[in-house]
Amino acid sequence: KIGLNPQTGIAKTGVVALLKGGKPGPVVALRADIDGLPVKERADLTWASKMTGEYNGDTVPVMHACGHDTHTAILLGVAKVLYEIKDQIPGSVKFIFQPAEEGAPAGEEGGAELMVKEGVLKNPDVDAIFGLHIWSQISAGQVYVRPKGIMAAVNEFRIDIEGVQTHGSTPWTGVDPIVTASQMINSIQTIVSRNMPLTEAAAVVTIGSIHGGVRSNIIPESLYMLGTIRTLDNKMKEVLLQRLEEIVKNIAEANNAKAKITYQVTYPITYNDPDLYEQMLPSLKRINGSENVNSMNAITGAEDFSFFQEKIPGIYFFIGGAKKGTDPLKAAPHHTPDFYVDDSAMITGLKSMTTLALDYLKNNK
């Protein structure tokens, strides 16, 4: 209905549309994620989701518990506004509606990484990209952004330890993977405190799950642990991964066990290009008011918008979603049944994304 001719089936369920301006110029991309979550909406709203979907083989309730419907509505609004003035635009705008930001189904590719593989930043080549995320516990009208790392890289891993099973009363006749794992966990927790320059950026290593053993009097043959690494600096990430490998290898050898690490999910740092940030920050301040554009600390959560930023300069920022005049800290957090976004937040998003696109194209002719 807007007038654009979208391409569908990108990265399975994604949609991409290209608006060609009336004058030659660069190409800018605007991205919105579109996926929901397996959460039942509890909010007393006439538009509360009644949808269900398939997740891990089960039928589950589905809602937009992270605001991706807000992002989609904002980008559709931007597309409508820009289409109406397309003859005045010096360049092109690519609208990217991305699926699977919350993660692809197990064992499948998806999200921004798959979109990049399928060439979403090509034909024509995109010069810069902008994206946003609603934040339910910030007042509507507020914008939060920072240069360089704004969200962490993530490396989710699995450590498999193989010992020798034996009776619990004679541990010297076997190799105990549980004792080996406990030594690894303690040593892994020293990586951040002893090897990371924490005055430069944050880093986190967490072991969140251990699976092994069935009885109190059986030392099991094997176990596995699941963990996650979050970093905001690429050099620190390299050191952390190296130390993790060394600790796992050396402690396994010291206990006559065998161990291996498998990385299951890897996201880059969501990194706001410093030069692009300096260029576009005045645009955000002009359209929203300087008093409403705030600097922020980096977040140790992850975002697959980072796969776009690996290829081209980009800016990612947050906008508030709590109704003005209410206490935003009392708002329901993301990924919960009571998650809610005030409609006024969409105005901030629409103005910001439209202005960023137009100013970038005009200033980089």
Superfamily of the domain at 7-151+269-363? Zn peptidases (3.40.630.10)
Segment 299-317 mean pLDDT: 98
Query: CA 83, CA 90: separation in Å to the nearest integer?
Result: 13
Query: CA 317, CA 339: separation in Å to the nearest integer?
Result: 20
Domain with CATH 3.30.70.360 in the chain: 153-267
Query: How many CB atoms are closer than 10 A to CB 50?
Result: 10
Active site residue 278: no
DSSP letter for each residue of 212-239: --SSTTEE-SEEEEEEEEEES-HHHHHH
User: Which residue type occupies 261?
Assistant: I
Q: Which residue in 33, 35, 113, 273 is the catalytic one?
A: 35
pLDDT at 45: 87
pLDDT at 237: 96
pLDDT above 90 (res 94):
yes
pLDDT at 56: 83
Q: Which residue in 33, 69, 101, 156 is the catalytic one?
A: 101
Segment 275-297 mean pLDDT: 99
Average of per-residue pLDDT values in the chain? 97
Percentage, residues of the chain above pLDDT 70: 100
Characterize the bridge pairing of strands 7-10 and 14-20.
antiparallel
Which CATH number, 3.90.1150.10, 3.30.70.360, 3.90.110.10, 3.40.50.360, labels domain 153-267?
3.30.70.360
**Cis peptide preceding 105, ω within 30 of 0:** no
* Lowest-pLDDT choice from 43-57, 209-223, 295-309, 349-363: 43-57
Residues 226-270: tens digit of each pLDDT: 999 999 999 999 999 999 999 999 999 999 999 999 998 899 999
Residues 98-141: tens digit of each pLDDT: 999 999 988 899 999 999 999 999 999 999 999 999 999 999 99
pLDDT at 265: 87
Residues 129-175: tens digit of each pLDDT: 999 999 999 999 999 999 999 999 999 999 999 999 999 999 999 99
Active site residue 101: yes
Domain with CATH 3.40.630.10 in the chain: 7-151+269-363
pTM for the whole thing?
0.94
